[in-house]
Structure 1
Amino acid sequence: MEEWNKEKEKKIMFKYRFTLTVRVIRVLVACLFLFWVYMFVVTISYNALHLDKKHAYYSKLAMDWTNPNLDEEFGEIIQSEITPFLTQKISYPVSRMVGKEPKVVGEMEIKKTLLNMFSTTKINFYQHDKGNKYRFFLPEHPKSGEPLGAEDDERVWEQLEKIHEGTVAELGFSTSEFMTAEELLELLEPYDLDLLWAPLYTGEFKEFEPTSYGGGGSHLSIQNIFGLSGGREISNDYMSEGKIQYLDEDLLADSKQMMLENMKTLLEEESNSYIETFLGLHKLEERYHYLKNNEFTVYGAVVTGPVKELLKLKKVENIRGAQLGEMGYWNWE
């Protein structure tokens, strides 16, 4: 019988440790390989389904409808990735049209998880004051027809008077009456300006109660409003996208039709939690049916152009509650 000694103990322990280490390494390599295969399949599927382009497109729609004159940098490639927990992270630049050129003001960050309740869209502005700065005042109460006022700030016109004529800017304003989109374009036709966005009346107080609104006395401003923008469309595979930059007479019918078709697609293909919780589009179904069955009615606008051309709007009786937005160096035609 072989005698037990320290040397033999060391040899056995060394062999045992070596064997255990090899087994651990094999398990780790196998886990890493399986993880690589898993991520390969996930990434290939993610890219094949174009989920990033889908979520980016719908976030652009939501931004078009609810954020006056905020747009993506058209043509820029979106940045996207998917994590092992199937969370999609998507981002793209956000800009404002100031004059004839877009001015980058921030970045859209999308976090799409498996559950819509934990998914978010957020615009990170490069400067803290670059958010939704415009308020639009209803000309009358939709239920009673009682005329309503607006908060006018004469300093806006004073600023425009003092700004050098070699400057372009954006300006938001409300109107003293409801009007069709065609009538709004006719009102602005004499001026060398581009119409970018117009707040829409979509049945608030009549068809549904708005989620938030403010005002005091004779003023009434809806905070979660929808607006009419140039319009956009995308192919069924989300690979080809097109849009109309401005609201103009020739393409107005197309802009309205694009909005209705996009609303219909969202309602038919996406869940309510996706639409409301993720995209933040409240009461989309009620708004869609109202716009489909009624005229596109607006009560304000966001326009851009030379500051001296904007100043001419001071004399238009229908315009009130003017608010000055971004300014930039001359880039007009």
Structure 2
Amino acid sequence: MDEEFKRKLAAYERGELTDEEAEEVEKDLERLEAYQSYFDETMGEESEASVDTKRFVRRGKWKARFQNAATVIGILLIGAVVMSVVTILFYGLGEESKMEAYPKAIKAAVATTKPNLEVGSSGANAVFLHMNFNGDLVKRVGAEREQVGELNGDFLLNMPNIDLDYEESHFVPFWYPEQLEDGELKDEQWERRLEQLPEGTVSELYISFTEYFSTDELLSILKDRDLMPVWFAVDTGPDLEEREITPKSPIGFPYISPALFMETEVTKKSGGFFFGVESGGGSYSVDSYGDGQKRNQDFLNMLHYMKEYEGITMDIAYRSEEDLSRDIAYIEENGVRIYGMVVTGPTKDLLKLKDEEWVGSALVGEVRLWNWFD
């Protein structure tokens, strides 16, 4: 709109134009009105198209998001199924599955290298390439077994991570007979401590012998005494010079075997992507003060099993496959020679052992209020 038209339009509004000029302005206004109508129609269509386009784009974005989410969920579900199948095959197959073998190796390592300590009630489960094994760590003081800690094991296939959470004693529990010959290591403090304890208590005692005993010999000595043997320390044949420096970490077997290599009742359970075994512990039948050969063989079976699963038991027993091979070879050649034991019972009955020639030295462990057999 130029200045001349603006001027004529203003004059038209004031009625100052001639009839001819007024008619010309009216025609121009009609043309402008036609242009405006066409413009409004065109812009309206474009505006609706723009709205439709935005709606289409928005729907496309949400559709893409749902498709991506569905793809991710599908991959996760497929991965979960694949990992579950691999888990079941890895831990569940075999004449003896790893689900049974791994806990068995752990229990053997605890039973043979931790005096008066064993794995009590326990359970294992496997899911998504991992196997978890958890159990109570228990010891016997008097007639009762009490929980003193927990065992937690996690396996990523054949890679173990095992933690024994309990208060471990730092004293040397046993001495060899050769070390006690000169009398320097004979400690009578245990006698004084037991004398100071009142009647109506039970105690735990770590005894080192002045000589070696076979299993049957030691059991016959303990028969008819009002006490209970708990764990036997077995000679594994280190050099005498090494013995004079420090005793090797003890290795031995419990009086009541965990029955790891006998037939025991095992409950299996399965479901979905999960399966497991549960065990409440067990024992097999032996003569209370005999069956030395059966006990010795069970001990050797545990050592052989630990050797087979050395990668698992090393963190518990601190014995390599080479160490275990040497221990087994010595025991098989020389027999089971016991040089110490853990025993429990009424405090005053334990004190009577001070008069026995075969008691070379002793250490008092835990003490509890009376909980002995009637």
The answer to whether the superposition gives a TM-score over 0.5 is: yes
> In the TM superposition, what is the alpha-carbon distance from 1:257 to its structure 2 partner?
1.3
Matching residue of 1:163: 197
Question: Could you say which residue in structure 1 is the equivalent of 2:348?
Answer: 308
137, 150, 155: which one aligns with 1:107? 150
SS at match of 1:185: helix
Q: Paired residue for 2:13? A: none
Partner of 2:266: 239
Q: Where do residues 287-326 of structure 1 align in structure 2 (5 Å cutoff)? A: 287-326=327-366
**Residue in structure 2 matched with residue 10 of structure 1 by the alignment:** 54
Structure 1 contact 139–175 (Cα < 8 Å) conserved: yes
Match for residue 233 of structure 2 among 199, 209, 222? 199
Separation in 1 of the partners of 2:264 and 2:341? 33
Match of 1:135 among 138, 156, 173: 173
1:107 positional shift: 0.9
Amino acid in structure 1 at the alignment position of 2:260: E
RMSD, matched Cα: 3.3
**TM-aligned CA distance change 1:148 to 1:65, over 3 Å:** farther
Match of 1:62 in 2: 109
> Is the alpha carbon distance of 1:198 and 1:108 closer, same or farther for their aligned partners in structure 2, counting shifts above 3 Å?
same
Superposition deviation, residue 93 in structure 1: 0.5
Query: 135, 149, 152: which is aligned to 1:92?
Result: 135
Q: How does 1:29-40 map to 2 (within 5 A)?
A: 29-40=73-84
- Whole-angstrom distance in 2 between the partners of 1:278 and 1:134: 17
Please tell me whether residue 229 in structure 1 is matched to residue 254 in structure 2. Answer: yes
2:33 equivalent in structure 1: none
Gaps of 5+ in 2: 1-41, 268-280
Q: Secondary structure at the match of 1:97?
A: strand
TM-score (norm 2): 0.71
Q: In structure 1, give the amino acid aligned to 2:319.
A: L
Aligned to 2:24: none
The answer on whether the counterparts of 2:154 and 2:161 sit within 8 Å (CA) in structure 1 is yes
Runs of 4+ aligned residues of structure 1 deviating over 6 Å after TM superposition are none
Amino acid at match of 2:301: E
Match of 2:9 in 1: none
Q: Percent identity?
A: 26
Q: Which residue of 1 aligns with 2:32?
A: none
Give, in angstroms, the shift of residue 11 of structure 1.
1.8
Distance 2:348 2:58 in 1: 87
Structure 1 residue 174: Cα displacement = 0.7
- 2:252 maps to a residue whose letter is G
Q: CA deviation at 1:275?
A: 4.9
Distance 1:158 1:36, change over 3 A: same
d(CA) in 2 for partners of 1:102, 1:315: 28
Higher mean C-alpha deviation, range 187-196 or range 316-325: 187-196
Given candidates 100, 106, 115, the residue that maps to 1:53 is 100
Displacement of 1:315 after TM fit?
1.8
Post-superposition Cα deviations, 1:161-203, rounded to whole Å, max 9, x if no partner, equal 1222211111001112233233333443463111111111112
Cα contact 2:216–2:290 (8 A) shared by 1: no
Deviation at 1:155, TM superposition (A): 3.2
C-alpha spacing 1:194/1:221, structure 2 compared with 1 (3 Å): same
Q: CA deviation at 1:133?
A: 5.0
Across the two proteins, how many residue pairs are aligned to each other? 309
**Counterpart residue identity of residue 140, structure 1:** E
Paired residue type of 1:220: T
Give, as a single letter, the amino acid of the residue that structure 2 aligns with 1:177.
E
Question: Separation in 2 of the partners of 1:236 and 1:247?
Answer: 18
**Structure 1 residues 332 and 294 mapped into 2: Cα distance closer, same or farther (>3 Å)?**
same
* 2:251 pairs with 1:251: no
- Measured after TM superposition, the shift of residue 48 of structure 1 is 4.0
Post-superposition offset of 1:54: 2.0
Query: 1:198/1:148 Cα in 2 relative to 1: closer, same or farther (>3 Å)?
Result: farther
Provide TM-score, normalisation by structure 1: 0.79
Letter in 2 for 1:53: E
Instruction: Answer yes or no: is the 8 Å Cα contact 1:151–1:219 preserved in 2.
Output: no
SS at the partner of 2:260?
strand
| Bigger proportion of residues as helix | 2
Contact 2:226-2:349 within 8 A present in 1 as well: yes
Which secondary structure state, in structure 2, belongs to the residue aligned with residue 249 of structure 1?
Answer: coil
Determine if contact 1:135/1:221 at 8 Å carries over to the other structure.
no
**Radius of gyration: which is bigger?**
2
